[in-house]
């Protein structure tokens, strides 16, 4: 379904039982709401599940120019307002985790808890050239030009060999992402600088990361855990960046356990 939020139409899906607590799922850069398919079944009986496509991703409109994390957080708030959802649990991976941190610092009363996965709170200066190259590649070669390298960061070679259909689905998400959306959100990631403010987050927080995540490694999550007052950390063995897919069973078990304790 689509709904008008500010200057764009946002694509979203609601599943689960009405009247139950809401969980928001926010996906990674170059993905879409279907990235969370593995999380629906274990949660739908006890929760109302809201998945949405970030600005410039999936079936949500893009806009021109660079985006900011504040813009993306306001897209989320606008969606919640239109759907008359006052507060919810939040689950975000990579870019989604950055949006969650930003939104929680802007208006913590909108959230019952945070689950921040395979993400970071600060983009180091040393990574800016890498992001500039990715933006340039997307402009010159299209999203097909970044798909292979992205998949190698997201999934282990073993998983790619054993689960080719799943990897093909994720490739489709990458290649269907608009260049405007990818580059706009990449610009937002380049300006991420929340590490010094994480101590302001008082919400119950679960951090999940793949053991071998190359882009947002375990060490960064340990740092976040030390800064966020009420945080715990789960490391999923053998997984890379999309730990919710490669390590879905453990991911789901830990998420269900955390949410049941928060509720």
Quote the tokens at residue 89: 């649990």
State the pLDDT at residue 127: 97
From 3.40.50.720, 3.40.50.300, 3.40.50.1820, 1.10.150.80, which CATH number describes the 2-262 domain?
3.40.50.1820
What are the tens digits of pLDDT across the range 162-212?
999 999 999 999 999 999 999 999 999 999 999 999 999 999 999 999 999
State the pLDDT at residue 263: 79
Quote the tokens at residue 85: 């959802």
DSSP conformation class of 58: T
Question: If DSSP codes are grouped into helix, strand and coil, which group holds residue 67?
Answer: coil
DSSP string, 141-154: H-THHHHHHHHHHH
Which residues, in sequence order, are CB contacts of 95 under 8 Å at separation 6+? 26, 27, 28, 29, 54, 72, 119, 185, 188, 189
Measured in degrees and rounded to the nearest 5, phi and psi for residue 103 equal -65, -40
| Structure confidence at residue 51 as a pLDDT band (50, 70, 90) | very high
Conformational region of residue 161, where left means phi above 0, alpha means psi within -120 to 50, and beta covers everything else: alpha
pLDDT score of 102 more than 90: yes
pLDDT score of 48 more than 90: yes
State the pLDDT at residue 192: 99
Q: pTM of the full predicted structure?
A: 0.98
């Amino acid at each position: 379904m689509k709904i008008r939020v500010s200057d764009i139409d946002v694509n979203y899906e609601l599943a689960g039982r009405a009247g139950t607590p809401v969980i928001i799922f926010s996906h990674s850069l170059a993905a879409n709401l279907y990235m969370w398919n593995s999380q629906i079944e274990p949660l739908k009986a006890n929760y109302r599940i809201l998945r949405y496509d970030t600005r410039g991703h999936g079936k949500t409109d893009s806009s021109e120019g660079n985006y900011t994390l504040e813009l993306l957080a306001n897209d989320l708030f606008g969606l919640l307002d239109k759907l008359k959802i006052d507060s919810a649990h939040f689950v975000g991976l990579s870019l989604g985790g950055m949006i969650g941190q930003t939104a929680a610092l802007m208006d913590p009363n909108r959230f019952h808890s945070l689950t921040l996965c395979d993400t970071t709170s600060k983009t180091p200066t040393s990574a800016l050239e890498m992001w500039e190259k990715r933006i340039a590649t997307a402009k010159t070669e299209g999203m097909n030009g970044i798909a292979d390298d992205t998949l190698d960061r997201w999934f282990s070679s073993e998983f790619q060999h054993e689960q080719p259909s799943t990897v093909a689905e994720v490739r489709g998400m990458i290649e269907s992402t608009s260049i405007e959306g990818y580059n706009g959100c990449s610009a937002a990631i380049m300006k991420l600088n929340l590490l010094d403010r994480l101590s302001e987050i008082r919400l119950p927080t679960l951090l999940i990361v793949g053991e071998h995540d190359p882009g947002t490694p375990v060490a960064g999550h340990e740092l976040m855990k030390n800064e966020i007052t009420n945080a715990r950390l789960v490391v999923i063995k053998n997984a890379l960046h999309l730990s919710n897919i490669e390590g879905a069973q453990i991911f789901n078990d830990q998420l269900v356990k955390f949410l049941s304790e928060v509720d």
